Structure 1
């Protein structure tokens, strides 16, 4: 574990901590600039005279007051300040005080001066309406006035949010935009190693002999990458050891079979013929097992090749023997792969189609960045309960024990091993019009 540590950078938690401090520092700097550079907000003032003029003839200044009919008059809570202002407005409008309702809505926008006191007298010490017109109204308010025709009007300031508040909200947005690049960089730096691990796990599932992860980045990530590479190496050794054992057993079985064949020369003809058939079946099984082990255990040697030309060599060879095989026309399909293994895969699929379906129709195409190879036949298909088992080694859909009609049961398993070694896969499905379709998908 010392080697990953030497290749690693600073710890991940330290990087995150530094980035967070940097983000906090940027936000505090923006707040300091706001405190120093922002101007003192102006107090929003209206007079009773302006409100009275708005009631009589509409708002006197654009965007100062809004006047609108009121269909519903709410119950105004008792408020000494509102009552005094209502009395002043009724004096200016020369209407009964019961026809005027003054209210300051609760909340942050309803600012009341600190010098107001509930112990002040309710009567207004104004000699006339001229003095009442000069009374100031601070903050946000709402006034309902009943006109002579019985209709109610509502008067309130036009701007609910003062300009300085808009400036503050805009500054907060600018602060967020200033911190966003740092937050994005932090999130990207944290998520990138996880994406690399996910991609490595996907590659490992497709090809156990894929390149190991690079031991770079923070020390925690380097240690995790080293552990992942060790796991990959152990898995490969585990699979290779068991594959080697199976191959060795299959290879060593040839010697006793050969001795049995020699000893059968002294056996009566009837018994010798039956035993020779069993020996041939066992030799065919051993040969297929060795081929399966060789194709599934060795990494594919990749080089650019034309998959369509490879399929043509298989179909042309079978057509020359009189087999009903066709290959759909199309453009060349160039991929990276092992030509010998891919040719064996196509041969297995086409041979299965000919054996069980009576014909084989092969087609190749590119679809969504992948290469598809389809082999169709017009046979009876496969029972639905066998679809999930056809790729298992030594499984035979044909239930007889005859090797000539049922085969060994390693053809599809070997074909899928080749496809997965190239980063693809194989699926089989029954076609609605009849027959079976084996579909190979390979990286394009």
Structure 2
């Protein structure tokens, strides 16, 4: 790990800074709301206005609500409330006992309590005057007036859940959310980016073990994890290369004893010599096919932009020139990133198998949203279910005669699946309804 990574901030400090910065920003917005939007001033209701509304039975402005009830009000009230009740009773020409003014003194202080005007004092005496100068009610209150029929008329402020001041505060809350959201989104994406990078690298490693290593950038934890991931990829490649080299060496070294066997068989009787030469020839072909398979799987893959339909047309044309009946169904061009020689060998193997066992082959290319599907079908006898499950195993042959004229070495379909998986896709076989075999290869775009 080089020094630039050591000097960068650790990931936990990034997360701590994001959380701290978000909290500070929210607090700044709240402080701005406190400065910009002062608390609302309470609405004052004079006793004469309350008396007039009580007589009319309704408030044209909608600020006060008038209702009738048979439940008498609470008998306990404080002196200022009794003084205001006396003023309202005087305006209505009613006995003082017929009017009760009740305020909410028992709940928590409200904005109205903050702006509650002090009780005026009489000049020089230092005692409250008999009647307040500002004979008004505000905040939460209820004025209850007894009617001659015994029913009580209640006048109280209309409950407004969404006053203009509350709506402004809700609007400020929405503005604060919109202001914080882009900052939180950007920082969250920055923190989550390394996780997405590792996910993409793991997927790329599964498709191509020789993919380029991860860049060692970011916080120290991310850089160290990327370096460990690159070391793991290097060890996997070495492991595969060592095993592949061992197989190639064994296959190469088998040629020498086979050559000695063929020389010794020259002095054997004709029937033994002919049978032995046939076995040696088959073993030599298998060894050659195995070495070619190993070379194909270990060669450096160079992917390029290509047209899959043009590639399929080339394979179909070559097979037709050799006497096979091959048809490519029409369709649009399909552009993709792939290894052209490997895909051409994949198509050639599938077409060759179809022509060999059924005499005909039909190629169909379909493009989906994120994948392209290659289907090669024939009208032959198909395969039994047990053979379908093992068809892609190396050296497996569904044709049991072991004749070189009716079957290959058993590495064609193994190579098809290896190429498909090297591109991030897969290959499968299935019997067609009626008769015939369908080989399907899916490749990501």
TM-score with structure 1 setting the length: 0.78
CA distance in 1, matches of 2:39, 2:327: 86
For the residues of structure 1 that align with 2:169 and 2:48, how far apart are their CA atoms? 31
1:203-242 aligned at under 5 Å gives the runs 203-242=204-243
Match of 1:351? 352
Q: 1-side partners of 2:208 and 2:241: how far apart?
A: 13
Which aligned pairs between 1:42-441 and structure 2 lie closer than 5 A?
A: 42-46=41-45, 57=56, 59-65=58-64, 80=76, 136=137, 138-139=139-140, 157-384=158-385, 386-398=387-399, 401-402=402-403, 404-405=405-406, 407-432=408-433, 434-441=435-442
Q: Which residue of 2 aligns with 1:5?
A: 5
Aligned CA distance change for structure 1 residues 314 and 54 (closer, same or farther; 3 Å): same
Q: Determine the structure 2 residue equivalent to 1:118.
A: none
Question: Does the 8 A contact of 2:29 with 2:176 survive in 1?
Answer: yes
Deviations along 1:237-259, one digit per CA (max 9) or x if unpaired, are: 11111011111111221221122
CA distance 1:285–1:101, shift in 2 (3 Å): farther
Go from structure 1 to structure 2 and tell me whether the alpha carbon gap of 1:165 and 1:385 turns closer, same or farther (over 3 Å shift).
farther
1:271 deviation in Å?
Answer: 1.8
Unaligned runs of 5+ in 1: 116-126
Go from structure 1 to structure 2 and tell me whether the alpha carbon gap of 1:258 and 1:34 turns closer, same or farther (over 3 Å shift): same
- Structure 2 vs 1, CA of residues 146 and 202 (structure 1 numbering), >3 Å: closer, same or farther? farther
> 1:329-387: per-residue Cα shift (whole Å, max 9, x none)?
33444434333222211111112222344421012243224433221122343444554
Distance 1:34 1:4, change over 3 A: closer
Displacement of 1:67 in angstroms is 6.2
Q: Do 2:68 and 2:151's aligned partners in 1 also have CA atoms closer than 8 Å?
A: no
Provide the residue aligned with 2:31 in structure 1: 32
Structure 1: distance between partners of 2:397 and 2:375: 21
Q: Is the CA contact (8 Å cut-off) linking 1:44 and 1:139 kept in structure 2?
A: no
For 1:425 and 1:176, how far apart are their aligned partners in 2? 47
Secondary structure of 2:17's counterpart equals helix
| 1:390-441 C-alpha deviation (Å, 9 max, x unpaired) | 3232333445555554543321110122223334332333334543322223
> Unaligned regions of 5+ residues in structure 2, if any?
117-129
CA contact (8 A) 1:4 1:223 kept: no
Q: When the two structures are aligned, how many residues end up with a matched partner? A: 425
CA offsets per residue over residues 2-49 of structure 1, 9 Å max, x none? 47836x732222233333332232222223323333323323555677
- Give CA deviations for 1:212-257 in whole Å, capped at 9, x if unaligned: 1111111111111111111111111111110111111112212211
Deviation of the 1:175 alpha carbon: 2.3
Whether the aligned pair in 1 keeps the contact of 2:5 and 2:220 (CA below 8 Å) is: yes
Q: 1:312 to 1:107 in 2, by over 3 A?
A: farther
Equivalent residues of 1:381, 1:436 under 8 A apart: yes
